[in-house]
Structure 1
């Protein structure tokens, strides 16, 4: 193994209101023990079963069942959510969702939360030791772990209202009146706190629920305030104060599908915006979420955050070293069968691998191992019923630590490999291109990138395109579509940070400007708004960093070439409101 390339890491910290602190460069040097790697891979190959023990049960559930049998306790996992120690949340795919079929499931103590008849999928809770019996039911085709969301939050301050010239458009009386905006996030549990301070209206509609939690770095679970939706709503209300708002709280992909349809069909949203990434969804084909977004009514404008993974993403075609391990050094003409990544003190990094095979029917099998410099730490191995591997690596020390990931091809053909190192400080061979995926990568969604307030180029963490699709046919979709500024002062209701940042903040900025434009005249259609935003954006030119560029509310309005509809004279902002200043505050990238 060659010595990894040195990576410089620049971290931000909370230093009053304006200063930026830079850390010393973190060096990703050293390699794991070659003997330890060889021993771990050899032991894995010897112990590998000829076939999956239960092809109906997903590999992450299989691993949890196996651990429970050997340790007599359920171990937490970023892929699984447990309740009362033994009850686990699952997806069950059925041949049909008839009443008789659901009755059979309930007889096995399944508590059903969501029934999606169009996908023939059920979300529910079941005792882990009853999963094998459930899988034997004739109507059951698959039992898997749910796909969970992660918010796309980042770490830069901006003053988006003036930079995007939304304030100039609002001064003309274009305030989003008559437009409904639906928000998908982790929730808005304390939105009334912001309403009481005048930062939100008193008539927000909410759907779903969220339970707050502390950070659990040992299991790669970030802190959850249940108020990212509150912060998104505040951004939209600042820019389009007369728009009607709804916030839907989601955690799983089935909840996401349920809520976007509720926002579109029950709330009647003209615009929907989300800031969530589902890293368990397929990277190389349109999964359930992507298809659901693409199927929304054509008169609904859809915005999604592009993601904050540019600097923690890796993607390359599999290239063998002298054995079956992937050569991470091939991009620079070297020979390196491990990729280094750093984890902060008392932090967890969630390492994920997918390859461009049919997601639920892969013909190839790759295993993922993680090592320190001496021995194996963890692995994600076994017969693959889906084309995904993943593991949580926890650094319990008081200093930053370097770990190494190794990919071993077990069987099948050479595939495109894609990895995310969620929570890592830096990785050895970062590949920004291709880090936009999933529903944000559909043609239907407008994926929004981030540009810092003091710069004209994309933020270093803002995910880049294109979005590669291999099934059912090859596509390279141009992404992201546009960019917006990515930070604004918010109330911090419910314990959310007082500065909202990252593409999670950029997306609601874009949605708010769209609400302004849609309210400008009865002659303005959603398609005209979409076209005006893309045509008037600047600094992009359709590139993989910021798409058409940073949006410009006033320039987009001018492109519409319409006369402003008559409005209530009380709707434009008062002079005092127009003078509102957004105070920049710097805050850490990490959710904790």
Structure 2
């Protein structure tokens, strides 16, 4: 017979109890299998026998290997599906957390048959595709702390035709089904082709937030600021530029363009609301650790003032700032403003969330053979160890369990199980927590959904803790057999809950999200467009609610030592503010654009207007302005759904006293030598005309320039000149005289520094210009890579490189790069082309000079076309390579590179140059075969 505890457990779950412990299907309703407790016991037996190395491995990986290796395990849990994506070649995508990323570790990965997908030295994390049967062996390394199923992510976009989160999440697993490369290439190519002459589209949020009239009233456009987005990708950025929806100079670091178009749509919103701001982008989808790296890089390398994202990684803790939130803390401590989507996980108020948190309550019912007891969701109202999942939203849902232990130091062991109505375990997560692991378990519901799915939390060992259980984008709902759904507020979590981050809820600008209403839902709100938001506006039903209770500082220090229960910790008021969604963009698939993904960039752009009109304003002052002036649209005062309310640009700018600011900047000088030529010569006294452009919103009054040189022997007269008042977007020009000593070598560089002062907070600005001495030689010398073909590793950030030796030039007046070949063809694996690759759009190619300076030649352009042959990259080409499509394959002709080559020839060019190619997407391969540099020196 079943033990009394097992009988009690089965009864509490609403299950039929077999007559004997070994009873098979058929003894209860509709083919119920052996008891739930027996299945848990079988899984606990696997956990009990784990080795020290296996305790560092994600339990789902271990169970998946057991299921594939032996019939005994599979027969004990016949309906179990771990959710681990295993490729046809037997590989899995994993995150390897280590003490330090070193060459020895990477070599071990390759020896084990692994392929690196992303590396973060800062976070000591490697994402790799690794054979499933080699995972445990790699875990035996002393420097490996943890091997997990790759952490997945999803954006906060809401689709009018809803899909399961499994279809919206980061889909770089080996078996993931994505848009085909051919379809993607056709889509992007068509967008570029149709871009010319297309009417521009402005987000309705620009009007609804009063941003359009606020720019006119206060005269600020975002000038002097840089706003950067992080999302999936910017596939259609070239088309958006061609249509005038985006400026030409969006800063996208090499290899960080990502995959997808949500980033493009977010950039268009930013540009609509703050058209004078500089823009940047980096993907958040390479891995969780790479996301953290890119947040820091956008601030500390790209110098972004405002950052915004719409991404949540499932492993982000609700109780402590994890690696992504720590990156947010770093950039906000440096003065940046950070905005993040609150999420689309719903709210208790609207009955759209699947979230419960509270103290663990022992049900007194044993779960399993060895130890452990199930949590009682019913509390004092009775005993119920299940949280029922709605059939309508049960397919492909990630289910997260966290508890109030510090990250990397949990000694209390909780497990997570998913059952069908018959009591069969259909998914699980039962990692060991022995003092060095994270307090985290995750499972996925079956992709096909199911009837009567139920979640149970089991305390395997240790003390009671405060729990957070979320079925992201799913629903906890009452079942037909009497199980009650328990929901609590606070589903928003992760880096948007960082103290200084702005968590942004969504409210419709034009129309509300068109999901069919469910019984008991309030009427869908209607957006104000073409009016403005008011107290009558309502938050979208899917927008995530708060608040967020935190128990630990980022370093693991308890906020309330000794109290990690429902009465402890710190309660953070999240979300803070609300902004518009349901708006138009020109990006295919994002018209309209719903979700807190669309709301966050509206808020970030308004913040850019504040910074633009108030240079030097502190972040705390911006926070006060946004919160204090928000329109309260829900319950009076700040609430857990809309925060302080909807922000309006005119209110915020009035509150901060914003005013138009001038921004006078020197441009490239124009040289006229004593003989009328356009080149400086040794011993020459030349006229240098120096333009100064006012890129700002206000008049640059009392503009002056001091022109100096750090080059020995060079003199400038006069040293300073007045440019007077320069109106916005106008140019002033003055002439200076520059004398070059006769001893100045041909090909050397004269460096001029222009310090521009004007009346305004953005003054002064300083620009440096390098002027070459001598006339370009008419002789072009060619230097070619002479080695064997080098394979480009598939979807590997290390890429492939070839050296090119240059000698006898000294300084270069002109430089171009060619990818060579003889017979150009699109045949896969062709040996007659400079680069044979079956999908050129996967590639980013970079040229590195002997002094370490770099220029990107091509960056994920070319669509599905094969091969590069007789392609020349030159600064004076008529068109940019970014405009090519699959129809141009095999790629030939002369094109502008992504970055100007003039930047890599500033110093002497003799030495070893490096041409590199990185394949950013799995599934295609190729080689570097023939590459050359073409260089002109100088003559008198």
Question: Which TM-score tier does this pair reach, normalised by the shorter chain?
Answer: 0.7 to 0.9
- Who is 2:15 aligned against? 33
Asked if residue 449 in structure 1 is aligned to residue 505 in structure 2, the reply is: yes
Distance in 1 between the 2:316 and 2:157 partners?
A: 19
- 1:179–1:244: 8 Å Cα contact kept in structure 2? yes
Q: Kindly tell me: are residues 37 and 419 of structure 1, through their superposed partners in 2, closer, same or farther at Cα, counting changes over 3 Å?
A: farther
Q: Kindly tell me: are residues 47 and 396 of structure 1, through their superposed partners in 2, closer, same or farther at Cα, counting changes over 3 Å?
A: closer
Q: Kindly tell me: are residues 165 and 263 of structure 1, through their superposed partners in 2, closer, same or farther at Cα, counting changes over 3 Å?
A: same
Q: Kindly tell me: are residues 339 and 319 of structure 1, through their superposed partners in 2, closer, same or farther at Cα, counting changes over 3 Å?
A: same
- Who is 1:189 aligned against? 235
Distance in 1 between the 2:486 and 2:506 partners?
A: 18
Distance in 1 between the 2:265 and 2:643 partners?
A: 25
SS of the residue aligned with 2:133? helix
- Please give the residue correspondences for 1:301-380 in structure 2 after superposition, counting only pairs within 5 Å: 301-309=337-345, 310=347, 311-323=353-365, 324-330=373-379, 333-344=381-392, 347-380=395-428
Distance in 1 between the 2:637 and 2:91 partners?
A: 51
- Who is 1:179 aligned against? 225
Distance in 2 between the 1:197 and 1:432 partners?
A: 46
Structure with the largest fraction of helix: 1
C-alpha RMSD of the superposition: 3.3
1:435 is aligned, of 483, 491, 513, to 491
Q: Kindly tell me: are residues 417 and 114 of structure 1, through their superposed partners in 2, closer, same or farther at Cα, counting changes over 3 Å?
A: same
Q: Tell me whether 339-348 or 52-61 shows the greater mean CA deviation.
A: 339-348
SS of the residue aligned with 1:530? helix
Distance in 2 between the 1:561 and 1:95 partners?
A: 49
- 1:343–1:349: 8 Å Cα contact kept in structure 2? no
Q: Kindly tell me: are residues 382 and 475 of structure 1, through their superposed partners in 2, closer, same or farther at Cα, counting changes over 3 Å?
A: same
- Shift in Å, 1:521: 4.1
Distance in 2 between the 1:315 and 1:457 partners?
A: 26
- Who is 2:276 aligned against? 242
- Shift in Å, 1:442: 0.9
Asked if residue 55 in structure 1 is aligned to residue 148 in structure 2, the reply is: no
Q: Tell me whether 345-354 or 373-382 shows the greater mean CA deviation.
A: 345-354
Q: Kindly tell me: are residues 299 and 396 of structure 1, through their superposed partners in 2, closer, same or farther at Cα, counting changes over 3 Å?
A: closer
Q: What 5-or-longer segments of structure 2 have no aligned partner?
A: 1-11, 18-31, 162-202, 348-352, 366-372, 479-484, 510-525, 527-535, 559-568, 663-695, 698-726, 730-940
2:579 is aligned, of 458, 480, 484, to 484
- Shift in Å, 1:402: 4.3
- 2:387–2:476: 8 Å Cα contact kept in structure 1? no
- Who is 2:334 aligned against? 298
Asked if residue 254 in structure 1 is aligned to residue 304 in structure 2, the reply is: no
Q: Kindly tell me: are residues 515 and 383 of structure 1, through their superposed partners in 2, closer, same or farther at Cα, counting changes over 3 Å?
A: closer
Distance in 2 between the 1:344 and 1:115 partners?
A: 39
- 1:451–1:483: 8 Å Cα contact kept in structure 2? yes
- Which structure has more RCO (C-alpha within 8 Å, separation ≥ 6)? 1
Distance in 2 between the 1:37 and 1:280 partners?
A: 33
- Who is 1:25 aligned against? none
SS of the residue aligned with 2:397? strand
- 2:415–2:431: 8 Å Cα contact kept in structure 1? no
**TM-score, normalization by structure 1:** 0.79
- Shift in Å, 1:330: 2.6
Distance in 2 between the 1:443 and 1:261 partners?
A: 17
Q: Kindly tell me: are residues 395 and 103 of structure 1, through their superposed partners in 2, closer, same or farther at Cα, counting changes over 3 Å?
A: closer
Q: Kindly tell me: are residues 126 and 553 of structure 1, through their superposed partners in 2, closer, same or farther at Cα, counting changes over 3 Å?
A: same
- 2:35–2:423: 8 Å Cα contact kept in structure 1? no
- Who is 2:121 aligned against? 117
- 2:81–2:426: 8 Å Cα contact kept in structure 1? no
Q: 1:129-152: per-residue Cα shift (whole Å, max 9, x none)?
A: 222222222332322233221111
Asked if residue 500 in structure 1 is aligned to residue 593 in structure 2, the reply is: yes
Q: Tell me whether 142-151 or 346-355 shows the greater mean CA deviation.
A: 346-355
Q: Kindly tell me: are residues 211 and 326 of structure 1, through their superposed partners in 2, closer, same or farther at Cα, counting changes over 3 Å?
A: same
Q: Kindly tell me: are residues 104 and 560 of structure 1, through their superposed partners in 2, closer, same or farther at Cα, counting changes over 3 Å?
A: same
Q: 1:458-479: per-residue Cα shift (whole Å, max 9, x none)?
A: 3333222222222332322221
Q: 1:136-195: per-residue Cα shift (whole Å, max 9, x none)?
A: 223323222332211112369994222322122122332112321110101111122233
Q: Kindly tell me: are residues 272 and 366 of structure 1, through their superposed partners in 2, closer, same or farther at Cα, counting changes over 3 Å?
A: same
Q: Tell me whether 150-159 or 59-68 shows the greater mean CA deviation.
A: 150-159
2:212 is aligned, of 167, 181, 186, to 167
Distance in 1 between the 2:304 and 2:389 partners?
A: 42
Q: Kindly tell me: are residues 67 and 43 of structure 1, through their superposed partners in 2, closer, same or farther at Cα, counting changes over 3 Å?
A: closer
SS of the residue aligned with 1:302? strand
Q: What 5-or-longer segments of structure 1 have no aligned partner?
A: 1-29, 213-225, 572-592
Q: Tell me whether 100-109 or 185-194 shows the greater mean CA deviation.
A: 100-109
- Shift in Å, 1:334: 4.1
Q: Tell me whether 437-446 or 153-162 shows the greater mean CA deviation.
A: 153-162
- 1:362–1:384: 8 Å Cα contact kept in structure 2? no
- Shift in Å, 1:255: 1.7
Q: Kindly tell me: are residues 159 and 316 of structure 1, through their superposed partners in 2, closer, same or farther at Cα, counting changes over 3 Å?
A: farther
Distance in 1 between the 2:583 and 2:356 partners?
A: 30
- Who is 1:149 aligned against? 153
- Shift in Å, 1:63: 3.0
Q: Kindly tell me: are residues 469 and 526 of structure 1, through their superposed partners in 2, closer, same or farther at Cα, counting changes over 3 Å?
A: closer
